Amino acid sequence: MNIALAHFRVGETDGVSLEMDKWKLQLEKMGHNVYLLAGSTGSTTGYVIPELHYKSEDNNRFVQNAYYKLEDYKDGDELETAILEYADRISAGLEKFLKEYQIDILVPNNMWSLGWGLPAGIALYNTVKKLNVHCVAHNHDFNWERVRYSNPTCDNVKRMLAKYFPPKDDLIKHVVINDIARCEIKKRKDIDATIVPNVFDFKAPLWKIDDYNRDFRETIGVAEDDILVLQATRIAERKAIELAIDVIAQMQSDKNLNELYTSKLYNGKVFNKDSKIVYVMAGLPESEPGYIETLQAKAVKLGVKMIFVNDVVEHSRGAVDGKKCYSLWDVYAHADLVTYPSVLEGWGNQFLEAIFAKKPVIVYEYPVYETDIKSKGFDVISLGNTHEVDKDGLCTVNKSIIEKAAAEAVEILIDNKKREKVTEKNFAICEEHFSYESLYRILSDLF
């Protein structure tokens, strides 16, 4: 069959783009022809409908007026008219694509779930109904899970969300990525959905430091004897990066630093008085205005060196505008410790990546981790499962939890036997439950 995987963007390092790559690979193994459709293609190739661009000026305006303040249109009717006109433009491009490539099954990713692209969701539905195209809607996140979409500015937007996000139709099979979402879509929409968890290729060659990425630390200004702590996710409020800043600050207490100074690191390197613990942000910045500045202020206040390196991290290795860029996998190869402090995740792509990279992980036990992941028996440095939000809008957990996590992090940085035991155990669990082989089995049934 001819199958199209659609999203606002592809070929980037966000979780949806990465998961689409995995689906494409498995579907092609089954013998299908698979095409990518998006508003931008990043470092890969695909069919582009410009109006689908994730950060299109028009869609940004629709989002602002639909969810924040209705100010560019006199009322909800005028906003809806503008959205429908834009949807017609997308429909024209979509119809051309579906006919030209003779698409048998369309797989929208999050385009019928979040509510970010109101015109896109409407256009998709109208076009597949017109052409009678079957769909498998891959829903990574839902609008009811996000604060941004919880209080639309007018009834028109509420109606659009109710009808199209997600739509219930015989042409559409729905896929969700966790059990919480499966229950919610049934309760809210009376839609039966199939769970397809995030997976990773645990039979792939391990990421290592090689001739291409050997200079990565030098490029970003991190010394060889520094400890590189990696945050691989996009930078957004729900990632609760501030919790990891608290842990790193505690790792720099006199007691913990003394442990590091008087012991060799797991890899034989020596952490000395000139060495630093560096918190490296590899992902795309996608937060609301002010969040990154608040994080930076917190890091400065607590004496945590935090650097942003997304300008040299791409979907794949290569040069961008003459500048050498690295893949996310190159960054993992250099990491000594990975943080995953998200308080809300649809599943946990970067958690699997860290396990594949055989790195110890600091994890906040977000709801889906508790329902779909924890029971498998992973060995992680836990930040617990309850948090509060302070006056600056940042998440906090009990100080004793931070202290315990910091001590465990230091221990696993200097105890190589424990580190190997933990990382090998976690790797084996993922091989069994979250591998490409399990994805192949599920997709074989769906398609």
| pLDDT single digits (tens) 399-443 | 999 999 999 999 999 999 999 999 999 999 999 999 999 899 999
The per-residue pLDDT for range 353-391, each reduced to its tens digit, is 999 999 999 999 999 999 999 999 999 999 999 999 999
The per-residue pLDDT for range 103-122, each reduced to its tens digit, is 999 999 999 999 999 999 99
* pLDDT, position 12: 87
Token pair of 272 as six digits: 């000395």
* pLDDT, position 216: 98
Average pLDDT rounded to a whole number, residues 203-224 = 97
- Determine the Cα–Cα distance for residues 257 and 252; give it in Å rounded to an integer: 6
Q: Is the pLDDT of residue 297 over 80?
A: yes
On the question of a cis peptide bond just before residue 360, with omega within 30 degrees of 0, the verdict is no
The per-residue pLDDT for range 36-57, each reduced to its tens digit, is 999 999 889 999 999 999 999 9
Bridge partners, residue 362, by sequence: 339, 381
Average pLDDT rounded to a whole number, residues 178-204 = 94
- Determine the Cα–Cα distance for residues 22 and 440; give it in Å rounded to an integer: 10
The model's confidence at residue 14, banded by pLDDT at 50, 70 and 90, is confident
* pLDDT, position 348: 87
Token pair of 114 as six digits: 């979040």
The model's confidence at residue 286, banded by pLDDT at 50, 70 and 90, is confident
Q: Is the pLDDT of residue 15 over 80?
A: no
* pLDDT, position 303: 98
Average pLDDT rounded to a whole number, residues 241-250 = 98
The model's confidence at residue 444, banded by pLDDT at 50, 70 and 90, is very high
- Determine the Cα–Cα distance for residues 10 and 1; give it in Å rounded to an integer: 21
- Determine the Cα–Cα distance for residues 240 and 248; give it in Å rounded to an integer: 14
Map residue 308 onto helix, strand or coil.
strand
pTM beyond 0.75:
yes
* pLDDT, position 180: 93
The model's confidence at residue 71, banded by pLDDT at 50, 70 and 90, is very high
Mean pLDDT of the chain: 96
What percentage of residues in the chain have a pLDDT greater than 70?
100
Place of tokens 């433009």: 89
All structural domains of the chain: 2-196 (3.40.50.11930), 216-435 (3.40.50.2000)
Using a 10 angstrom Cβ sphere, with 0-12 exposed, 13-18 middle and 19 or more buried, the burial of residue 232 is: buried
Average pLDDT rounded to a whole number, residues 274-285 = 96
* pLDDT, position 347: 85
* pLDDT, position 134: 98
State the Cα angle at 17 between 182 and 150, rounded to 5°.
50
The model's confidence at residue 18, banded by pLDDT at 50, 70 and 90, is confident
| CA proximity to 27, closest of 16, 36, 39 | 36
**CB contact at 8 A, 362 and 383:** yes
Q: Which residues contact 85 (CB under 8 A, 6 or more apart)?
A: none
Residue length of the chain: 447
Average pLDDT rounded to a whole number, residues 6-31 = 92
* pLDDT, position 316: 86
| CA proximity to 59, closest of 114, 10, 120, 107 | 120
E strands, 347-435, in order: 361-363, 381-382, 388-389, 395-396
The model's confidence at residue 346, banded by pLDDT at 50, 70 and 90, is confident
A 10 A CB-CB count for 74 gives: 9
